[in-house]
Amino acid sequence: MGQKADKNNGNRFLLRIMKLLLICLIVIIPTFVLFVTCRLKTVIVDGSSHYTNEELQQKVITKKTDGNTLLLYFRLKYGKVESIPFVEDIDIELVNKNTIKIHVYEKVITGCIEYMGGYMYFDKDGIIVESSSEKLNNVPFVTGLKFNSIVLYEKLEVQKESLFNVILNLTQLIQKYELDVETIRFNSDLEVTLKCGDVKVLLGKRDTYDEQIAELKDLLPSARGKKLIIDMVDFKEGQDKIIAKPEE
């Protein structure tokens, strides 16, 4: 009986050893191969105009395990990715065992305002989509207005409801015609002045500025590099002459 028990114990021990070896073959060895052969070497970034490739990589690749291509891919594809300023979403593509491609979908921003020492950015519908301490050079900066409510992810509220449509009209037209406008300034009478480099453009007070902005697209290239004031307060479509004088 004792010899039979010893034999059974020996068989069970061998069975455990075989199971352990099988686990090594199925799990441990492939895992080791995974870590050795799938080291991240190349990151391709597509669709990012706000961040350089290096800056975006620093914001996305944040974990110790991200040095492995597959682990990084699964984390970004199926896990929770931390919010990145001015980025709506990212998509990850596995190119090969050492390369991933990050597709960036940026937030559509049409303008910004200053608030409590920082900057609030809004989209074409007037929704505040981002707040930042950084002022972007390629986004029109709106000044001279008072705001009733400034809440992230909510609609911008100004002192007059009609002004809201004026702001959107201006920012959408500037974006449509791809004008290099730095500042949209409202004075106390709610008259508009655009600052485009060294050029100031007087637009006056209107409900919409479609005709003026469309004409401005052809005027600005010839005025670039000159300190000018362009007076379009009384401009009408089809007008032959527009007053432009040097700024004193």
Q: What pLDDT is stored for residue 167 in this prediction?
A: 87
pLDDT one-digit tens code per residue, 129-173: 999 888 888 889 999 888 777 888 888 887 777 788 888 899 889
Percent share of the chain, pLDDT over 90: 26
Q: CB 153: neighbour CB atoms within 10 A?
A: 8
Lowest mean pLDDT among 25-29, 57-61, 166-170, 172-176: 25-29
DSSP state of 99: E
208, 235 Cβ separation under 8 angstroms:
no
At residue 4, the 3 state secondary structure works out as helix
Q: Per-residue pLDDT for 4 more than 60?
A: no
Q: List all residues 6 or more positions away from 177 whose beta carbon is below 8 Å from its beta carbon.
A: 213, 214, 216, 217
Higher pLDDT, 65 or 105: 105
Query: Counting Cβ atoms within 10 Å, is residue 22 exposed (0-12), middle (13-18) or buried (19+)?
Result: exposed
Higher pLDDT, 10 or 205: 205
Q: Which fold has domain 42-106?
A: Ubiquitin-like (UB roll) (3.10.20)
SS3 content of the chain, % helix, strand, coil (to 5): 35, 30, 35
Lowest mean pLDDT among 15-19, 43-47, 53-57, 76-80: 15-19
pTM: 0.71
Given pLDDT bands bounded at 50, 70 and 90, which one contains residue 26? low
Q: Per-residue pLDDT for 236 more than 80?
A: yes
Q: Which fold has domain 111-246?
A: Rossmann fold (3.40.50)
Domain boundaries, the chain: 42-106, 111-246
- In angstroms, rounded to a whole number, what is the distance separating the alpha carbons of residues 198 and 200? 7
Cα 6 to chain center, whole Å? Answer: 70
